Amino acid sequence: MARVFDPELYDRYLEASLKYTLIPPGINPEVPLRYYPEVDDYTMSCGMARTPNGRIWLAWFGNEDGDGAVMLLAHSDDDGKSFSKPDFIIDPGFIPGGVHISALVGNLWTAPDGRLFLFVMQSLGFNDGRGGVWQSICENPDDDKPVWSTPVRLWHGAALNKPTVLKNGTWLLPVALWTRSHMSVEQDHHSFWGQSKLFHELDERRGGNILASTDQGGSWQLRGHVSNLFDRTFDEPMILERKDSSLLMYMRDGHGMTQSESFDEGNTWSVPVKTPFFSASARFFFSKLESGNALLVKYSNPLETERRSHLTAYISKDDGATWLGGLLLDERCDVSYPDGFQAPDGRIFVQYDRKRESGEILLAVFTEDDVLAGKTVSGKVLLKHPAVQSRSARLESLNAQ
């Protein structure tokens, strides 16, 4: 007999289960072997950060890109040449009845004072319609036994990208509250996409939102909102402060990227418009460099403009009005979700994933000069360097030798 979807029963089930998503997720140093990439065989890019003493922390999502997602952390003490086995896992586990609470979205960020911040979303299943951004802080990220604070819930939604520190000291954290069409919680191995009637009170906030902190992450207040009018998807906003203190936001939409502006520190935003350049619909990386120039890493396949391939870095000297150079980091298909940082010596580190299922996390290292020249001129370029490899990716590498 065909299964009949009962939306009222489904929402009653969700309402009874959502209380478990408000319990702080644990950051556990005991990582089960089944989540090691050599066993799990799944690697989805999250982010990375560098501590003041030079340790690199890398985060990725394991198990799946969905209801069962967990976050894993590892570190490198040799400038990214190699990474440790997983040091920590964020796995909120299962609620009574068998549904998993996912840890699907998040990032790592080193604050100006050297503290390492971890942001992670906690949701009942893939997307319960509310989600929730949790923040934990590590005061000793270079120690043998780093200690994480008990995570604190900041607001709803998901924070995939790093905060932006304004010239006046304010921190802005871009947060996405996904469209209702992405609401899905697996129940008895069936997912009902977009059919829940819960959380309509949040609908006016679906899209990109800004959390602001004026006390270095001690507290956060909700500011402005911006939403793509068409082709809405996971949003994944990132913010650049321009030289005149105005803000430029890039967002993901269903066919590429859009942009919006704010002239009041993120309280109000212009209606999004398509960017003048093309890119695939996927996470990009957007950041200000120590030189004052901006960096953008996006997809630049010249023949299939919406394909996740030809991951390329560009530089802007005019706050994003134009983009120069073009250093090709990886021409292959199924490369996505770049994130990174700039080291004190000027080198730029970018990590990204390839294939995810049976895939790997890769590292690219380069300088501004390399990007502007569109080729290696610094002698410091490292491309397609494996940071975390699944079992299948390791076998692929061995067979290619």
> Does the pLDDT of residue 235 top 80, yes or no?
yes
What is the reported pLDDT for 185? 83
**C-alpha to C-alpha distance for 376 and 184, rounded to whole angstroms:** 45
Domain membership of residue 288 (yes or no) is: yes
Q: Above 60 in pLDDT, residue 3?
A: no
User: Is pLDDT at 97 greater than 80 in this prediction?
Assistant: no
Number of separate domains in the chain: 1
Residue 344 lies in a domain: yes
Tell me the per-residue pLDDT of 211-231, one tens digit each, with 9 for 90 and over.
999 999 999 999 999 999 899
pLDDT band at 298 (very low <50, low <70, confident <90, very high): very high
* Within-domain flag for 146: yes
Is the separation of the CB atoms in 70 and 89 below 8 Å? yes
Query: Quick check: pTM over 0.85?
Result: yes
* Residue 251 and residue 258 in contact, taking contact as beta carbons nearer than 8 Å: yes
Assess contact for 294 and 342: CB atoms under 8 A: no
pLDDT at 1: 47
pLDDT of residue 6: 74
How far is residue 72 from each of residues 20, 39, 285, measured CA to CA in Å? Answer: 21, 14, 20
Nearest to 255 by CA among 319, 184, 307: 307
pLDDT given for residue 40 in this prediction: 95
Integer Cα distance of 116 and 58 in angstroms: 12
- Cβ–Cβ < 8 Å for 163, 34: no
Q: Which long-range contacts (CB under 8 A, 24 or more apart) does 70-76 make?
A: 70/35, 70/102, 70/103, 71/46, 71/103, 71/106, 71/120, 72/31, 72/35, 73/108, 73/118, 74/388, 76/387
The tokens of 9 are what?
A: 């029963």
Using left for φ > 0, alpha for ψ between -120 and 50, and beta otherwise, residue 185 falls in beta
* The pLDDT of residue 400: 83
Mean pLDDT value of segment 153-165: 98
Instruction: Please write down the HEC assignment for all residues of 153-172.
Output: EEECEECCCCCEECCCCCEE
Q: Is 105 within the bounds of a domain?
A: yes
Q: What is the mean pLDDT of the chain?
A: 95
Q: Name the token pair of 394.
A: 């390791």
Q: What is the pLDDT of residue 329?
A: 98
The pLDDT value recorded for residue 187 is: 57
State the pLDDT at residue 139: 98
Residue 323 pLDDT more than 60? Answer: yes
Give dist(CA 319, CA 60) in Å, integer: 30
- pLDDT of 10 reads 74
Residue 359 structure tokens: 């895939």
Say which CATH number the domain at 337 has. 2.120.10.10
- Tell me whether residue 1 is in a domain: no
Cβ atoms of 300 and 313 closer than 8 Å: no
pLDDT at 12: 85
Q: What is the pLDDT of residue 354?
A: 98
Percent of the chain with pLDDT over 90: 88
Residue pLDDT, tens place only, 35-50 = 999 999 999 999 999 9
Give the other-Cβ count within 10 Å of 60's Cβ: 26
Structure token pair of residue 249: 């936001």
Q: Give residue 197's pLDDT.
A: 86
Provide the pLDDT confidence category of residue 96 given band limits of 50, 70 and 90.
confident
Sort residue 129 into left (φ over 0), alpha (ψ -120 to 50) or beta: left
In a domain, 41, yes or no: yes
In a domain, 368, yes or no: yes
Higher pLDDT, 188 or 383: 383
Q: Residue 2: inside a domain, yes or no?
A: no
Q: Which domain holds residue 79?
A: 7-400
